[in-house]
Structure 1
């Protein structure tokens, strides 16, 4: 296992939604090829080798890195791509995908693969040209020191064999031009919009769109309310999985989410209102407000501290994001007892989360 970042993301944020969308897209693509396709061996694995991966009976089918950076410079994604290049080098024939919030800027005449190759060669060159090999990224990855460059940490976590400087160098060289080279198997993920990027607003549209494709293909009658409820139950499924993953991070491999489980949610009639749906819907909205608060100087008067790692906001929000939807919803209901659930049959009336009170009263309490 290369690493585990389950504590820093949950099913309701960008990464979780991208994982849901891609899983639905795979389901629809397979059904296009074979209307009776058997999904019993397909599964979604969260935060094991990469942010998520798709597996079948033969092992990994694709690895995915998901980065919600509000930046476009290629250098911002170098480390994620190093992880992908190393991981898929270990799995011949498997592809790796980079999902980004914004499109990556590439110099005119420069390909995505050539930039990845350049990054790997820079690590090799750093080792070859170092007068003192011990100061190179490769050599530092073999130490037990904590204060080492991020790229050295990535190489260390990958446990490349043999665990020698020459062994790691040879591995990276083979990733560039060997029989199991990986640089030509890494792609920027292309969305149905024909773009190589997707922001949070667009992913929120793509998930229900993919669900509708499934329903139409299968001749299933559906309503917009049904689609919304399925989306929220998907988010709840991913979220509970991540919470459990965080609790058992040191207890072996993560338990995958079977595609059959996802299909069971898709094919269940969820028209009736439920407490679970309300909780999932609330957490989705709650999480979407977190970056809004932190980036607004009127709401968070001292957000400059974020850049200096002196603000406890991120630690607090990581904790809040790991709370089960029902716990977060119950807390909010206690905080806002004046809000009434007016109708069991009308979602818009039943769900009346007070956005202003969350932004202007509840969130500021957390940083006092």
Structure 2
């Protein structure tokens, strides 16, 4: 979540791996503020990546600043630099409340922590009472933040007299909409900072606010269909992809700082794709997924899952050298080696499933007129090697607006093109495309 790459003694850090977590914790804190005084806090606003990872403002006054760290490390020494920096910033700006959010319980906290790091405090979260009588803890696991938001939102709706009871039945829908608003702003801010020079980062981030009134408008809305547009589903896809990326980084022990930067560059590009670019990206990288995929809501439900991203896409990006970014192509990333283009996919299935995977790719490409990459080259998979994807028997659905002769001719032409498309596993990719750092 810190803007610039950091080198700490215990861990390499991906600056993008926790952006979803950061946004959700920011939303959780906003909901807590709204719950504390629903009417009085309407004029608050959420700032991202300026005073800190996020901050709460009333007009020009910063009420609290928040730093979020989702490191795997549990030793205080891995966080001490960030805590010291937050302490110094808070004192310099005369901000009375500075909170440090972590995803794991921290060990070896100094006895004089409160005195030495004033005004910084570890943020506390509610938990069900345990046998020792505790009702809160100073960390929030990654897999618990969703329920925390849901519970807070449910209680808010129940406690605020002016909110109708029927909203309790739409908590999931309201939560998803609120998360999309915050997530969109987090992504925009991260991306602008990612592309900016250091001298311009502070200026960019200082202007990125979410007015609490926007959050109130969602909670108090009479109709939630209005929010389920393409922009909403794009944000939900970004949240999913970011979550899968965080899961991937969590499970890797060998990520160097250079690898983190490489993966950050990929995620920055993917999360900044617009609606049509995201559709093209998913068609190209998930060619085996079935569905009509005319809208992002269809992509959201059918084209992407955790395994495809963690075991397929992100593993390919990690193991190979940096792919070229294709600005004017429907294929977002590719590698060129000795005249052959190689394209990343989310195909992670074992070799024994190759005939079935080829069948699904061919059927989908013929039925849905997928043209984005089936011209030549090779699809990179986790474990499948095949000279051509076309040597399978594929049926075809009849189209109401196309006669049989025309349809069969089109089918034959496409299959001719698909004969040029191979599948290659990570193990058998050309050596020149493998990241030497991992050898």
Partner of 2:258: 309
Partner of 1:70: 72
Relative to structure 1, is the Cα distance of residues 292 and 263 closer, same or farther in structure 2, using a 3 angstrom cutoff?
Answer: same
Relative to structure 1, is the Cα distance of residues 4 and 315 closer, same or farther in structure 2, using a 3 angstrom cutoff?
Answer: closer
SS at match of 1:13: helix
Relative to structure 1, is the Cα distance of residues 357 and 78 closer, same or farther in structure 2, using a 3 angstrom cutoff?
Answer: closer
State the alpha-carbon separation in 2 of the partners of residues 341 and 208 from structure 1: 32
State the alpha-carbon separation in 1 of the partners of residues 85 and 95 from structure 2: 17
Report matched runs for 1:55-204 at 5 Å: 55-57=57-59, 59-92=61-94, 94-106=96-108, 110-114=111-115, 117=116, 183-193=117-127, 194-204=136-146
Q: Between the two structures, name the one with larger relative contact order (CA 8 Å, sep ≥ 6).
A: 1
Partner of 1:14: 21
Report matched runs for 1:196-345 at 5 Å: 196-218=138-160, 219-222=163-166, 226-245=170-189, 246-247=191-192, 250=200, 251=203, 253-268=206-221, 269-271=223-225, 273-294=228-249, 296=251, 304=254, 306-307=255-256, 309-310=258-259, 312-323=262-273, 327-328=277-278, 331-336=281-286, 338-340=289-291
Q: Tell me how far 1:59 sits from its aligned partner.
A: 0.3
Q: Could you give the per-residue CA deviations for residues 238-269 of structure 1, whole angstroms, max 9, x where no partner exists? A: 23323443437635532311111111122233
Partner of 1:145: none
State the alpha-carbon separation in 2 of the partners of residues 287 and 225 from structure 1: 27
* Higher Cα radius of gyration: 2
Q: Structure 2, unaligned stretches of length 5 or more?
A: 6-13, 128-135, 321-439
Q: Which is strand-richer, 1 or 2? A: 2
Q: Could you give the per-residue CA deviations for residues 213-235 of structure 1, whole angstroms, max 9, x where no partner exists? A: 22112343346773223333223
SS at match of 1:206: helix
Q: Tell me how far 1:280 sits from its aligned partner.
A: 2.7
The aligned length equals: 285
Partner of 1:27: 34
State the alpha-carbon separation in 1 of the partners of residues 279 and 299 from structure 2: 16
> Residue 23 of structure 2 contacts residue 186 of structure 2 at CA under 8 Å; is this kept in 1?
no
State the alpha-carbon separation in 2 of the partners of residues 340 and 286 from structure 1: 19
Relative to structure 1, is the Cα distance of residues 247 and 186 closer, same or farther in structure 2, using a 3 angstrom cutoff?
Answer: closer
State the alpha-carbon separation in 2 of the partners of residues 295 and 9 from structure 1: 12
State the alpha-carbon separation in 2 of the partners of residues 45 and 79 from structure 1: 22
Relative to structure 1, is the Cα distance of residues 348 and 336 closer, same or farther in structure 2, using a 3 angstrom cutoff?
Answer: closer
> Residue 66 of structure 1 contacts residue 100 of structure 1 at CA under 8 Å; is this kept in 2?
yes
Give the TM-score, by structure 2 length. Answer: 0.56
> Residue 10 of structure 1 contacts residue 242 of structure 1 at CA under 8 Å; is this kept in 2?
no
Deviating more after overlay: 312-321 vs 47-56: 312-321
Give the TM-score, by structure 1 length. Answer: 0.66
State the alpha-carbon separation in 2 of the partners of residues 95 and 190 from structure 1: 13
Q: Tell me how far 1:52 sits from its aligned partner.
A: 0.8
Partner of 1:39: 42
> Residue 63 of structure 2 contacts residue 96 of structure 2 at CA under 8 Å; is this kept in 1?
yes
Q: Tell me how far 1:350 sits from its aligned partner.
A: 7.4
Q: Tell me how far 1:9 sits from its aligned partner.
A: 4.0
Q: Which is helix-richer, 1 or 2? A: 1
Relative to structure 1, is the Cα distance of residues 288 and 58 closer, same or farther in structure 2, using a 3 angstrom cutoff?
Answer: closer
State the alpha-carbon separation in 2 of the partners of residues 113 and 38 from structure 1: 28
Q: Tell me how far 1:69 sits from its aligned partner.
A: 1.1
Q: Over aligned residues, Cα RMSD in angstroms?
A: 3.5
